[in-house]
Structure 1
Amino acid sequence: MEAPEAAGEQAAESASRLRGLRDLWQIPTVLGAILLLLMGVFMWVRTSAPVDIDAALESVAVLLGAEEYEEAKAILNGPILSYMQDPEIHPDTLAYFYTLRADTLYLDQRDRNLDLRANNEQILSNYEQARRFGASFGDVRLYRNADTLLRLGRADEALSEARLLSDQAANQRREIFRRVIEAGLAHDARARDRALASDLLAELHKDPTLDDAGRRWLVAREARLSLQAGYPEDAMRRVLPELQRLPENDMRQGAELLLILGAAYLDVGRFDDAYTQAQRALGVLLDTDPLVAEAALLQGSALRIRGEYEQARDQFTIVTTRFPQSDAGARAYLALGEINAELGHHDIAQSSYRAVVDRLRAGRLPPDLGADQIEFSLGERHDERFERGDFETALEYARLSAACYRDGQMPAQVHARLAAVHRAMGDRLLAEVPRTSEGAIILRETDPITLEHARRHYADASRFAAAHARATVLSDPELSASALWMAAECAEKSGDLARAAELFNEYVQARHNDPRALEGQYRHAGTLKARGQYMDAIKIYEGIIDEHPRSVEAYRSYIPLAHCYILLGDADSLARAEQRLLYVISGEPFEPNAPEFRQGLLELANLYRRTARYPEAIRRLSEARARFPDLESSPSFLFNLAESNRLAAAEAGERLREAMPQSERRIMFDARTERLEQALAQYDLVRAALSTQDSKVQTPIERTMLRNSMFFRGDCAYDLALHHADDPARSERLLEEAIRYYDAAAQRYADDPSSLVAMVQIVNCYVALGKWREAATAHERARARLAEIPNDAWLNADTPMSRRHWEQWLESSFELRSRGTTAATAG
């Protein structure tokens, strides 16, 4: 068997392309040999005859020489593979086998123009196995090994292999060196790689086989390294003499030197000279030469610095149009993004930036252009638009910055920008929405789409701010704390109360000595209250009041604390709520004109109404009405006052059934009359205020107030009529008035189950008036309406059909039945 290295080198040599017509005579001979070879392999696979492994391996070498890589792999991965496990097999055979496997993988990948990490690792593994069994490599395989190591980023090992190449393979050795140097010249190269590139340049200087072209390449790389290190003067010193040595027949390399000189001029501020050198380079380059892109890029950069933006843009466009996939093309896209942004053409700018980002994500950027450089440029664009209040454009730049990074790799400043711009957009959306005097949004007058967009912006702001806080917790604790606070605030504004509570609590726990920690506790309690976690909120509010009684947060805690107690609803909690509210309006913590005093007074009145202490509720509401005249135009306040009066009148009506002195009865009789008349007037004010509004923009509470006001007007008039039964004229007038109110309510809410209330009360009114035909007709209509309404409709607590209404209707029904009166017979 031929020695592995010799045979392999021969196969490698024959793997080169045919050189011309004089080589074509080989094709029939080679094809015939391959055919015979494949027939032999087929017979070997199909029979159990003794195997000639050496001959099989030789056939692989022949197949490699003919570039038949699939057939070679079929043999190496076929039955022969099992023979390689035989402990009796000779090490030379094993070395040859693994060498051929590595050769096959290497040549096949090269032929397919692939560069897959898995393939490269397999190539190295097979070459290492071959060496373990004693293979020694010549220049061809040393180069392949070095090339593969370099593709895997193992530069030191690749250089070790390259240094083993003989002088006959000096060009291949220099190629490996050059690739390592180019990597070290990359913009984002590590300091170690730059140092290695510098050392290799020095080593190449000592290479006695280096020709003039190689020396010029060497000078060009040294000059580029000087430029990257910030020494443009040194780059000029290297390039200028070399340009004088340049032969007339090598102007292409001269163009590269001219462009390096132009870049150095650009760095020192000699913009006109930079433009001139680029122009000279263009004069000797073919239109299709990639260096044309670099020259146009240099000219565009010089023009841009001189303020000639339109001309600069034209140069950059030449690069992106004619050389879009080149390294210069990527830089030109970035420059176009910047210059179009400076000219105010942000849509075009973002399109250019997007092209750069797409190439970044696809891994097709030049080594000296990385994510951080692109993000820095986009960050400047974002900041400029943000400062001008153009948040939509700023957001798009921030999103492009985020697209520069994979998940989990986004730097802190990108999170910060996204958080800030989303919050700003949410704030702007809500800045113009109508609000109450207390600052609450008037939902009925606000577009729900606007509110949803604002909510989404705040949710995104919270998410990015929280990520910013996590990213800076060690490097800048103060900045991290501010970001965490912003995340909590924005979560609260977005309506994500669970997240807001979590973030405020995290802030308090992490920053308990921070001046904002107390406010954080207060805000945390507020989110818990809004989520219905009243006991947890109470603990925090009580703690703030007890531990920091003179703080702003303590004064702000009294009202929500009392509200939490009210919402708990048990007797002990309601007593605690009253105690806190009485303290609020005592004049000690707050002046009577303070918002907290006003709110405390209204909450106390509502507490009394909820606990059926109606006279006290009326007294506190009347006090609020006198102190704060603007409440006169508040439908919710008027409704609460009307409810308190109506329910106080109902309570008085129950008491009037009891035995009491005549003088006391007279007082209570007059008081009940006054309560009903006031309730009727106040319900009418609520109806007048709300009935003219579009129901689509009303809140559910407002719609319920309007509906109940219309029904309760009728109830008040009806109750007044019965209350004054001893005054027939007055009673009749009030009953007719009640019928009008009920009829208006029934018509407005014809499709609502509550319409039955009005229809039933109309029956009761006609019965009270002794109008039996009308009562019978109304009774039949009410029964028909009842049949249409599902039984579970009466389980709704908001429906104004009380037990009293049912009982009165029942009494009227029996009265009609006892009279034998129906709609057909009445009269």
Structure 2
Amino acid sequence: MADDVVDIEIDPGKKTWRELWQVPTLALAVVLLLAGLIGVVATRPKPDINGMIRIAETRLERGDHAGTLEMLNGKVRQHVDAPFFTDAHLQQFHTLRGRAVAKGQRELGVQETQNYESVLSEFKAAEKAGAKLGNEDQLLRLESLIATEQYDEATDRLERLDDELSAERIALRKRIIEVAMGARHPRIELAESHLLTLTRDPMLGVDDRCWAAARRAEIQLDQGFINEAITGILREMPRVASAKAGARGELFTLLGRGYMESGAVSEARKQLERATELIDSDDDLFAQTLMQLGRSLELTGEMELALEQFELVTQDYAGSKSYLPAMLARGDVLSAISETDPAQYSKEESIGAYVRFVDEAVGRAPEPLLLEAIKSMLQRSEEQFVKNDLVAASQYVQLAEDIHGILDTPVEVLHMQARVNFAMAEEMLRGAITGEAHVIDLADADPVTRAQTQRHYIRAADYYRRLADRIAGTDDDAAYAHSLWMAADAFDRGGDVAEAIAGFSEFAISITDDPRVPEAQFRLARAYQASGDYSLAAQQFEGLLTDSHDERLGKNVGPFAVLSHVPLAQVYLADIDSDNDSRAEELLNIVIRGELGDVNSDAFAMALASIGQVHYLKGQYPRAIESLTEAVARNPGTRDIHRLRFLLADSRRLEAEMITQTLTQGSIAPSVARELIGKQTEHLTIAAGLFADVRDGLEEVDPRRRTALETMYLRNSYFYVGDCAFDLGEFETAIRSYSIAKDRYAEDAASLIAMVQIFNSYFELGDLERARTASERARRFYETLPKEAWEDKSLPMTQADWERWLDSSYELAAMRTDGLGG
């Protein structure tokens, strides 16, 4: 202690002697204080441990278990390590604590594992201290061993019980059998072993013999040995004729169950009715009999009467073994009634019955009942799936999954979940799907439908993926391949490109002998294309083209090699490498020349559209017009029609501009000029109509569903209708078109284009006053626009438009000056 005081000094070396003299004095004072305390302790009388233990024993004898523990834990326990606490005290302390916990829990009707473990721990500590446990303590220990499922030790100690405890030995063996059979994962072999030993016990009475026969029959019925169970009960009946009525009644109940499961329903009902006469209505066995009666009525189609039996059990026997099975059976019967008479019970009520079962059964019911419930709910789900009631199918299968959770649910549940979610996604898009059968364009759906559809596709994909993982390594190679394929397919349809790539890659690598491998490669290439990874997409497409010439692979690859030509060309045109553009044109021309077969195919139409776009981008407008005109004719009802019409319209508008340049470049024969002007007029007239079609068509598309490209096509079409009219010299029509465009895009920089062209139109008409007004409006609007507004390269205002505004404004100003001068 003195050292502790010294240690708290911050810097003793700087202390004066006057300050430091107090340290040894303080140390001496502490020593004296401790000596005084020791003297006090030494003279205190020892506690009366024997008296405390006698009080605890007395309280235990009176049944005051809590008082016993209060004395042992509150008064005695603090002295356990004291030198005067003898081995005999320790033996009594632990033995009494073990008894108090065991008897107290039994009295309260509590069955807490922790308490049973405490009993075992106390008795073990008592024996370690040298105690010899009596018969009563041995029985209490056996109860705890059975409750904690320590069957080996329980069996060993059971065999060593004194002969005078034969009745208790029989009762405990019956308890082992009950616990083993009633466990969530039943220990049937253990139960059968103890049943055999029990029936050989010479002290077994007739009632217990009847009980043992019932347990053997129950095991046989649960395992499907129906005839053996029936025969065994019939043979045992004469031997137990003197048993109590309730015991014999249970045999009749099990006999009825056996007949029912063998299909002899009328005989089953006869035996069950006999059982009701023997079993007291307050007995849990009566609930089991009602349960079996309900089953017999269900089998004969008497659903309302069956429901009455099940509801009696769920209402009056909530603590019985039959409670949860009756809840499940109630759901089954309500489901059946709701299908035939929905006015009496709705489908929602039947689903609600299953919900209640799941809420109460999870964590409580034995595993066989849970598996029976899953089977039943899967059957309900399949029934609704066949009827295309996918919402109900989804609810039933989700309940089946909730029983064990997604990680432990049977593979049948995963498969049903996958099927239902995939079907729900398909149902949502039915009637709104366009394009290739294997690629669903979710842009065709409204935002809410699109989000829900994607969710169901992704859920389906996840379940198929989990299913594939669960059955991997089994003998069912076909199911594994199917699950892998469907997972990748659903991810693709749901728009999860990364997972689709992973899925199709795995399929193509691991399922090499499947005829769908070429399609997987094709889908993989399309997924790479969609993600912008053009190099990997090209590798896959080119690989298909190469494999199509292989005699061994060509049979399955061929169709997908044909389909690869157009998307491969699109990939080459979209990448930054211009050196492969010629390869793209070559691929498209192969399709257009009909070298791959039917000119009425989707591939041919896609090739026409793509080659048309190539010519358009190269400024080869006559060739673009030729290809795009045919592409538009072949794609009248597709979503892509707006893009094709816009490209065709713009090709004609730009070709008209090319003709204008030709006409202004020098001397041209009058006949040639007239022919060119005629073609120019034709191009502009047709272009104006096409731009109007694009404008009107895209206005009907929900703005939330338009792509960025479609939004640009819509805006530019408004202005190009006016441009075509202006170039045709139809200035009144141009003014009307530009005014509509200006009002439609009042806040857009493109609105300036309309204002400028309105000014130019009035100027061409000679209406100078309106031209000045229009010019002033354009100028004021132009001044409000930020510089970055003109960074949009897609604005339909070219350098020529700016020059035309400048020229017209200059001429208008010159006219005004001349007028003032005059």
TM tier, smaller: 0.7 to 0.9
Aligned residue in 2 for 1:380: 379
Aligned residue in 2 for 1:729: none
* CA distance, structure 1, for counterparts of residue 75 and residue 378 of structure 2: 61
* CA distance, structure 2, for counterparts of residue 628 and residue 388 of structure 1: 35
CA contact (8 A) 1:232 1:265 kept: no
Aligned residue in 1 for 2:774: 778
- Identify if the C-alpha distance between structure 1 residues 290 and 182 changes in structure 2 by more than 3 Å, giving closer, same or farther: same
Deviation digits for residues 348-405 of structure 1, max 9, x if unmatched? 3323322332222141x3x474322211222222233333433333222211211121
* CA distance, structure 2, for counterparts of residue 633 and residue 359 of structure 1: 55
Letter in 1 for 2:370: A
* CA distance, structure 2, for counterparts of residue 258 and residue 266 of structure 1: 12
CA contact (8 A) 1:187 1:228 kept: no
* CA distance, structure 2, for counterparts of residue 65 and residue 277 of structure 1: 48
- Picking from 626, 643, 646, the partner of 2:650 is 643
CA contact (8 A) 2:433 2:444 kept: yes
- Identify if the C-alpha distance between structure 1 residues 766 and 608 changes in structure 2 by more than 3 Å, giving closer, same or farther: same
RMSD: 3.7
Aligned residue in 2 for 1:429: 428
* CA distance, structure 1, for counterparts of residue 568 and residue 103 of structure 2: 79
Aligned residue in 1 for 2:507: 507
Deviation digits for residues 387-441 of structure 1, max 9, x if unmatched? 3433333222211211121341111111111111222222233333364698987
Aligned residue in 2 for 1:682: 687
Deviation digits for residues 518-575 of structure 1, max 9, x if unmatched? 2111111111111211111111111111122451111111111111111114322323
Letter in 1 for 2:734: A
Letter in 2 for 1:259: T
- Identify if the C-alpha distance between structure 1 residues 618 and 267 changes in structure 2 by more than 3 Å, giving closer, same or farther: closer
CA contact (8 A) 1:505 1:521 kept: yes
Deviates further, 120-129 or 85-94: 85-94
- Picking from 704, 708, 722, the partner of 2:716 is 708
Aligned residue in 2 for 1:413: 412
* CA distance, structure 2, for counterparts of residue 632 and residue 685 of structure 1: 16
* CA distance, structure 2, for counterparts of residue 672 and residue 569 of structure 1: 38
Aligned residue in 2 for 1:16: none
Q: Structure 2 matches for 1:527-606, cutoff 5 A?
A: 527-549=527-549, 550=554, 551-606=558-613
CA contact (8 A) 2:221 2:229 kept: yes
- Identify if the C-alpha distance between structure 1 residues 756 and 172 changes in structure 2 by more than 3 Å, giving closer, same or farther: farther
CA contact (8 A) 1:330 1:356 kept: yes
CA contact (8 A) 1:485 1:503 kept: yes
Deviates further, 84-93 or 152-161: 84-93
* CA distance, structure 2, for counterparts of residue 633 and residue 530 of structure 1: 16
Aligned residue in 2 for 1:455: 454
* CA distance, structure 2, for counterparts of residue 278 and residue 635 of structure 1: 74
Shift of residue 88, structure 1, vs aligned partner: 9.2
Shift of residue 598, structure 1, vs aligned partner: 2.3
* CA distance, structure 1, for counterparts of residue 267 and residue 639 of structure 2: 80
Q: Structure 2 matches for 1:168-187, cutoff 5 A?
A: 168-186=164-182
- Identify if the C-alpha distance between structure 1 residues 717 and 329 changes in structure 2 by more than 3 Å, giving closer, same or farther: same
Aligned residue in 1 for 2:702: 696
CA contact (8 A) 1:124 1:148 kept: yes
Aligned partner of residue 691 in structure 1, secondary structure: helix
Aligned residue in 2 for 1:276: 270
Aligned partner of residue 327 in structure 1, secondary structure: coil
Aligned partner of residue 311 in structure 1, secondary structure: helix
Q: Structure 2 matches for 1:39-118, cutoff 5 A?
A: 50-51=46-47, 53=49, 55-65=51-61, 84=80, 90-110=86-106, 113-118=109-114
Shift of residue 508, structure 1, vs aligned partner: 1.0
Aligned residue in 2 for 1:498: 498
CA contact (8 A) 1:590 1:596 kept: no
Shift of residue 776, structure 1, vs aligned partner: 1.7
Aligned partner of residue 405 in structure 2, secondary structure: coil
Shift of residue 751, structure 1, vs aligned partner: 4.5
- For normalisation by structure 1, the TM-score amounts to 0.82
Letter in 2 for 1:400: L
Shift of residue 609, structure 1, vs aligned partner: 1.4
- Picking from 287, 293, 310, the partner of 1:293 is 287
Deviation digits for residues 592-629 of structure 1, max 9, x if unmatched? 33322221122011012123333332343345568889
* CA distance, structure 2, for counterparts of residue 671 and residue 208 of structure 1: 121
- Picking from 232, 241, 258, the partner of 1:264 is 258
- Picking from 311, 314, 336, the partner of 1:320 is 314
- Identify if the C-alpha distance between structure 1 residues 232 and 80 changes in structure 2 by more than 3 Å, giving closer, same or farther: closer
Aligned partner of residue 138 in structure 2, secondary structure: helix
- Identify if the C-alpha distance between structure 1 residues 323 and 811 changes in structure 2 by more than 3 Å, giving closer, same or farther: farther
Shift of residue 109, structure 1, vs aligned partner: 4.2
Deviates further, 259-268 or 430-439: 430-439
CA contact (8 A) 1:143 1:161 kept: no
Shift of residue 333, structure 1, vs aligned partner: 2.1
- 1:742 lines up with 2:738 in the alignment: yes
* CA distance, structure 2, for counterparts of residue 49 and residue 812 of structure 1: 123
Letter in 2 for 1:124: L
* CA distance, structure 2, for counterparts of residue 216 and residue 437 of structure 1: 71
Deviation digits for residues 280-330 of structure 1, max 9, x if unmatched? 332344443322212211222222233333322222222223224422122
Letter in 1 for 2:567: P
* CA distance, structure 2, for counterparts of residue 793 and residue 58 of structure 1: 98
Q: Structure 2 matches for 1:474-489, cutoff 5 A?
A: 474-475=473-474, 476-489=476-489
* CA distance, structure 1, for counterparts of residue 189 and residue 631 of structure 2: 81
- For normalisation by structure 2, the TM-score amounts to 0.83
Q: Identity percentage over the alignment?
A: 30
Letter in 2 for 1:760: V
- Picking from 238, 241, 260, the partner of 1:241 is 238
- Identify if the C-alpha distance between structure 1 residues 655 and 546 changes in structure 2 by more than 3 Å, giving closer, same or farther: same
Aligned partner of residue 408 in structure 1, secondary structure: coil
Aligned residue in 1 for 2:329: 335
- 1:308 lines up with 2:315 in the alignment: no
- The answer for unaligned runs of 5 or more in structure 2 is 1-39
* CA distance, structure 2, for counterparts of residue 142 and residue 459 of structure 1: 59
- Identify if the C-alpha distance between structure 1 residues 538 and 746 changes in structure 2 by more than 3 Å, giving closer, same or farther: same
Deviation digits for residues 109-142 of structure 1, max 9, x if unmatched? 4455443334433433333233233222112221
